Amino acid sequence: MRAFIFPGQGSQAVGMGQAIADASAAAREVFQEVDEALGQNLFRLMVEGPADTLTLTENAQPAIMANAIATLRVLEREGGMRLADKADYVAGHSLGEYTALCAAGALDLTTTAKLLKLRGQAMQAAVPVGEGAMAAILKLDFDAVAKIAAEAAQGDVCTVANDNAPGQVVISGQKAAVERAGELAKAAGGRAMPLPVSAPFHCPLMHPAADAMATALASAKLQAPLVPVFANVTAAPASDPDEIRRLLVEQVTGTVRWRESVIAMGDAGVHHYTEFGGKVLGPMIKRITPDAETVSAVSMNEIEALAKSL
């Protein structure tokens, strides 16, 4: 069995999408539709930068989605195939869950772009710059980091944001609490790596953003995906549109349970993982389930090779 997977924030880079847009009308159509949906020349920003503007959450989120969907559309058109015929499940890391839903037909491209633009703006606005922080805690497992975060909180917010892979857990919350957790992690034999983010994602401080997404998703057209999507907050497959809406709202403040999702997909029979538009999730999966087969599709050569192998 195979899952199509989609990366989250941090996989953006100036120049992204240019090569496949030069080579394929299918990719150009995706980038044009996203530009029209947002009323901005996002594709030009993706290609030319500057990097600091592309990295802004409200730009990075729709850009990463557009790049991944363009890659998938090229595969579908050039390879003459449908996602539902080649994938048993879809999944995405954080914003990648929206990409997965778009890929599986639950959300159309225009709606997905608008939702991610709003999501980025709302997440950025939820906490004043400088008040929140995130840090990757390396060399410690999830339970150890969860205990450290709880001890470090001391009345502030400090929780696990991403359970990415064994020995790679991300915490999020108020800056002082995250710094305290980093010191506790070092004392426990781990290593704390502050992340260059502008807001503390996936923690209770994001409640204003969750409220904004609840309002937006309530009126968004969302239908059952062609194949089930593994949800970040439950690490379980979902297909019911109302459940998916609820889970997307919970995801804003909840933990991205990627490690558990990969284990659950493996238990469901998935052995092959195909990552579109990035090379981030494959290495995580290999750390979680070393026997899994992973491949990424970013360049035209990789897309063509994938088309031949599927």
Contact between 310 and 79 (Cβ < 8 Å): yes
Rg (CA), the chain: 18
Catalytic residue chosen out of the listed positions 11, 202, 261, 296: 202
Q: Which long-range contacts (CB under 8 A, 24 or more apart) does 28-36 make?
A: 29/73, 30/66, 30/69, 30/70, 30/73, 30/109, 31/66, 31/70, 33/109, 33/110, 33/113, 34/62, 34/65, 34/66, 34/109, 34/110, 34/113, 36/110
Which residues, other chains included, contact 275 with Cβ-Cβ below 8 Å and sequence gap of 6+? 5, 6, 7, 281, 282, 294, 295, 296, 297
* Amino acid at position 235, single letter: A
198 as an active site residue: the answer is no
Whether a cis peptide bond, with omega within 30° of 0, leads into 283 is: no
- Of the chain, the end-to-end C-alpha distance in Å amounts to 12
Q: Which of 189, 179, 187, 247 is nearest to 217 (CA)?
A: 247
Contact between 90 and 40 (Cβ < 8 Å): no
CA 304, chain centre distance (Å): 24
Which residues, other chains included, contact 267 with Cβ-Cβ below 8 Å and sequence gap of 6+? none
* Amino acid at position 106, single letter: A
Contact between 294 and 270 (Cβ < 8 Å): no
Backbone φ and ψ for 297, nearest 5 degrees, come out as -125, 110
Contact between 248 and 222 (Cβ < 8 Å): no
In the numeric block, the tokens 């195979």 are attached to 2
Catalytic residue chosen out of the listed positions 11, 24, 94, 172: 94
202 as an active site residue: the answer is yes
Active site (catalytic) residues: 94, 202
